[in-house]
């Protein structure tokens, strides 16, 4: 009888060790090693997909004709000998998914989608699978029953005769059903619930996640079938499982947002077939996820009266220009230590901007409570909203509202200078499209314009003091 092979894995990063360690050499975490059985005496037969060809659709014959082991030769070639073929992608009815994937679903690609529990991952891809009317879609669920998925589909109010459902967690049984159906798109929900008979450990363990992902990767590459793996995240926001899981897949998507708000962001963290600077924005409704084509109009509050402490920032989320509202509240502190509270903005960045206003502008925020909020529940890391944050702070400090048709795009340095930001022409064009009359930018961005913008006034400033004189001095 063959000997059982065991190893110790770090639950945090997936580092493998032959013995137990108190501290992980890879991620420096303590007490994260667990023992797992990774191999038994009997070696299971490896699945081969040489005779597997997903039947092409009559309306789209190129789908599912990927390279298989039967027609691929393993040999050394030069770049000149490689013949390139036209890249054919599967277009979904969701423009946001097409954007983050780089123009559509690539045949033979494997995509990992991660996000917090309850954020809407299953709803989004169930909706996307039902919308692929011309392709045979197989949805594998290891978390929910068939009745639960049927209820969710009824809530989405979508149907598809080519959409099939399988509730199974053992990969060997899953691939038996795949051979019978021969799907053209595969959705797995979720990879942490699956298990392989090759590994004798519980589902969700490091070795199980790695082996199951490797089996689906082999299936995707050998058959040309796109595979979507829905995954979980840990409490610190990283993708659960070994780090190698992110290296194995072609694309990593992060579905994020505050569950108390209706808006969700589908962000690209890795993409071998497109840009990683793209993102999609959704709104959670009672009938599923709705793609937001123009998020700037939603994120800007339609106020009937002018209020102080509000400024519009022309930001960039990936490659998409986005106008958002920055709200500030400055009040006299009634406690010994002034409060600094932020929502959607970096607290240390706020402290830096307050120090600049005190040092360079002479404003006394030392005994003031300061609150900053990004409307809509977004979390912004773009430093180009510094100018809008300072404008909102000064507006609340002076208790004077800003003109509703003015917006800001600029980074503020430690010396009070207004620094240039990238893609300024896209920001100006977005502000002009939404009807703003004036945008304030850095004077160092002025030379980046090929021509003057039409329909909007571009004001270039160099110092924070100039900003105060322009907005609040009569």
CB atoms within 10 A of CB 21: 15
Residue 275's pLDDT band (cuts 50, 70, 90): confident
pLDDT surpasses 50 at 64: no
Q: Is 118 annotated as a binding residue?
A: yes
Residue 89 in this model has a pLDDT that exceeds 80: yes
Q: Are strands 137-141 and 438-442 parallel, antiparallel or unpaired?
A: unpaired
DSSP letter at 407 equals E
* 120 annotated binding-site participant: yes
Is 76 flagged in the annotation as binding? no
175-194 tens-digit pLDDT: 999 999 999 999 999 899 99
Q: In what order do the strands lie in the sheet with 16-17?
A: 16-17, 5-10, 33-39
Banded model confidence at residue 336, pLDDT cuts 50, 70, 90: confident
pLDDT at 340: 93
Find out whether 117 is annotated in a ligand binding site.
yes
* Least confident span in 56-70, 264-278, 281-295, 347-361: 56-70
Q: Is 122 annotated as a binding residue?
A: yes
Ligand-binding annotation for 121, yes or no, is yes
What's the pLDDT band for 259 if we cut at 50, 70, 90? Answer: low
Contacts of 445 (CB under 8 A, 6+ apart): 409, 410, 420, 421, 424, 460
Sorting pLDDT into bands at 50, 70 and 90, what band is 285? confident
Annotated binding residue 204: no
Look-up of token digits 């040999």: 75
What's the pLDDT score for residue 302?
65
For residue 216, pLDDT beyond 50: yes
% of residues, the chain, pLDDT over 90 = 47
Q: Which long-range contacts (CB under 8 A, 24 or more apart) does 433-438 make?
A: 434/296, 434/297, 434/300, 434/323, 435/405, 436/312, 436/405, 436/406, 436/407, 437/403, 437/405, 437/406, 438/403, 438/405, 438/406, 438/407
Q: How far, CA to CA in Å, does 404 sit from each of 305, 397, 471?
A: 10, 18, 12
115 marked ligand binding residue: yes
């Amino acid at each position: 009888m063959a000997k059982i092979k065991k190893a110790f894995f770090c639950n945090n990063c997936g580092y493998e060790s032959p013995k137990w360690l108190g501290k992980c050499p890879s991620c420096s975490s303590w007490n994260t090693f667990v023992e797992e059985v990774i191999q038994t005496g009997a070696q299971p037969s490896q699945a081969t997909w040489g005779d597997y060809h997903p039947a092409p659709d009559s309306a789209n014959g190129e789908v599912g004709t990927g390279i298989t082991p039967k027609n691929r030769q393993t040999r050394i070639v030069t770049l000149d000998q490689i013949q390139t073929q036209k890249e054919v992608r599967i277009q979904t009815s969701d423009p946001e998914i097409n954007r983050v994937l780089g123009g559509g679903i690539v045949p033979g690609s494997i995509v990992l989608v991660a996000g917090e529990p309850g954020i809407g991952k299953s709803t989004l891809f169930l909706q996307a699978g039902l919308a692929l009317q011309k392709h045979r879609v197989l949805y594998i669920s290891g978390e929910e029953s068939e009745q639960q998925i049927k209820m969710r589909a009824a809530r989405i109010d979508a149907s598809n005769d080519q959409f099939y459902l399988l509730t199974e967690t053992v990969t060997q049984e899953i691939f038996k059903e795949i051979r019978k159906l021969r799907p053209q798109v595969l959705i797995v929900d979720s990879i942490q619930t699956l298990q392989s008979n090759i590994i004798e450990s519980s589902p969700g363990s490091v070795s199980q996640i790695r082996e199951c992902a490797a089996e689906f990767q082999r299936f995707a590459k050998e058959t040309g079938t796109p595979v979507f793996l829905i995954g979980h995240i840990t409490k610190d926001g990283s993708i659960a499982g070994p780090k190698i899981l992110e290296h194995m897949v072609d694309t990593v998507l992060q579905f994020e947002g505050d569950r108390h708000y209706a808006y969700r962001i589908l962000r690209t963290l890795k993409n071998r077939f497109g840009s990683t600077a793209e993102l999609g924005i959704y709104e959670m409704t009672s009938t599923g996820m709705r793609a937001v084509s123009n998020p700037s109009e939603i994120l800007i509050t339609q106020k009937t009266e002018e209020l102080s402490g509000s400024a519009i920032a022309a930001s960039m989320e990936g490659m998409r220009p986005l106008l958002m509202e920055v709200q500030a509240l400055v009040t006299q502190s009634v406690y010994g230590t002034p409060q600094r509270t932020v929502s959607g903005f970096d607290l240390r960045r706020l402290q830096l901007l307050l120090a600049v206003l005190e040092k360079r502008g002479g404003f006394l925020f030392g005994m003031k409570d300061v609150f900053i909020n990004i409307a809509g529940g977004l979390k912004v890391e773009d430093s180009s909203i510094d100018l809008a944050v300072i404008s909102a702070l000064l507006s609340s400090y002076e208790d004077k509202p800003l003109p509703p048709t003015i917006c800001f795009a600029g980074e503020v340095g430690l010396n009070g200078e207004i620094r240039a930001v990238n893609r300024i022409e896209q920001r100006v064009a977005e502000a002009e499209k939404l009807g703003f009359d004036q945008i304030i930018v850095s004077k160092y961005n002025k030379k980046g314009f090929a021509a003057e913008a039409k329909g909007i006034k571009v004001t270039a400033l160099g110092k924070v003091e100039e900003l105060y004189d322009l907005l609040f001095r009569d």
